[in-house]
A and B are shown apart, each in its own frame.
Chain A
Amino acid sequence: MDAEMARAQGDSGMRKLFIWLPLALFAVFFGLFASGLLKPDDRVITSKLVGKPLPAFELPAAASDRPGLASGQLATGQPRLLNIFASWCVPCAAEAPQLMALKREGVAIDAIAIRDARPDVDAFLARWGNPYARIGLDARSSVQIALGSSGVPETFVIDGQGRIAYQHIGDIRADDVPMILKRLEEAR
């Protein structure tokens, strides 16, 4: 009889705990969803190749007056910028003045034009300026994918040994220029 009582009491103790379980679960999920709602959305996908050597590639010329681009030409002993752009991309036109400013600072800039055509690239460069030494044409985004780049525009800092030192996602704004110059200095 005593044992029976004790068991019943134990059972009711358990039951009391169980009664609170749904509320506890609700609180957990509420907290989870609230934090998801309040946290700013981060949709930037960085390349996992930062710090690693550039993948090997060789691209034909994208513009009439600039040669194409091969990965070997980026390891020159001096840091350079590799700009991923496209003539159809609006933010790429917006960052053109900043790239021209970087070129005036003596920065060597090469580029890859994504899903583009030569007449379009020529027109784009005639309109917004041409800061590039070489421009490779990546008609099927294959080099872009190999680089772990997820859109246009993006800019990679390549060190003298041809390693990716830094990836800038999105257009370079005027106030990004000193930071890019610093990254180039660090990659020296």
Chain B
Amino acid sequence: MRLMIALLALILSAPAFGQSALPPAPWADRQIPDPAQEKEARDLMLTIRCLTCQSQSIADSNASMAGDMRSQIRERIMAGEEPEHIRRWLIERYGDWVSYEPTGDPILWPLWAAPAVLLALGALLLRGRLKRRTR
């Protein structure tokens, strides 16, 4: 019984999370009225990494900082800013880390080359097979 009461009290108590008590920023969870602009904002938000819940995009994260970033992105897109400009602005501050979109950096060349290499390998294998069959 005592355990039950303790568990109930645990459920009813207010959790003391280290989170701000302020409500989310105005455009954190509200869509832009213009669907085309909202799509631009959403596509960008899906490829910007959350600084609090690393491994989530800011579109998926409930962290207050992610909400503030979403709001800022929507406001800037409504003001006519290009999504790629906002991405560059964020990369200037947090580095490539903040963007999920791969860049053309030399370190990523193997990544870009991988599909071509795999296709070539497949073609080679296929050629070998066909040759053997015709023989």
**CB within 8 Å of B: which residues of A?**
43, 45-49, 86, 88-90, 114-117, 120, 139-142, 144-148, 150-151
Contact = CB atoms under 8 A, between A and B. Distances in A.
B20 A147 contact: no
B94 A45 contact: yes
B13 interface: no
Contacts of A116: 20, 22
Q: Label chain B's interface by main secondary structure.
A: helix
Nearest to B93: A148
Contacts of B22: 115-117, 139
Interface residues of B, number: 23
Contacts of B52: 150-151
B94 A140 contact: no
A142 B90 CA distance: 12
A47 B20 contact: no
B69 interface: yes
Interface of B: 18-22, 25, 51-52, 54, 64-65, 68-69, 71-72, 90-95, 97-98
Contacts of A142: 68, 72
B71 A140 contact: yes
Given A48-B92, A115-B68, A151 B21 contact: no
Q: Label chain A's interface by main secondary structure.
A: loop
B93 A86 contact: no
B93 A141 contact: no
Contacts, number: 64
Contacts of B69: 141, 145
A45 B95 contact: yes
B93 A88 contact: no
B76 to A, nearest CB: 10
A46 B64 CA distance: 19
A117 B95 CA distance: 31
A138 to B, nearest CB: 9
B21 A140 contact: no
B18 A146 contact: no
30 contacts: A43-B54, A45-B51, A45-B94, A45-B97, A46-B95, A47-B94, A48-B93, A48-B95, A88-B21, A90-B18, A114-B20, A117-B21, A117-B22, A140-B72, A141-B64, A142-B68, A142-B72, A144-B65, A145-B68, A145-B69, A145-B90, A147-B93, A148-B92, A148-B93, A148-B94, A150-B51, A150-B52, A150-B94, A151-B52, A151-B65
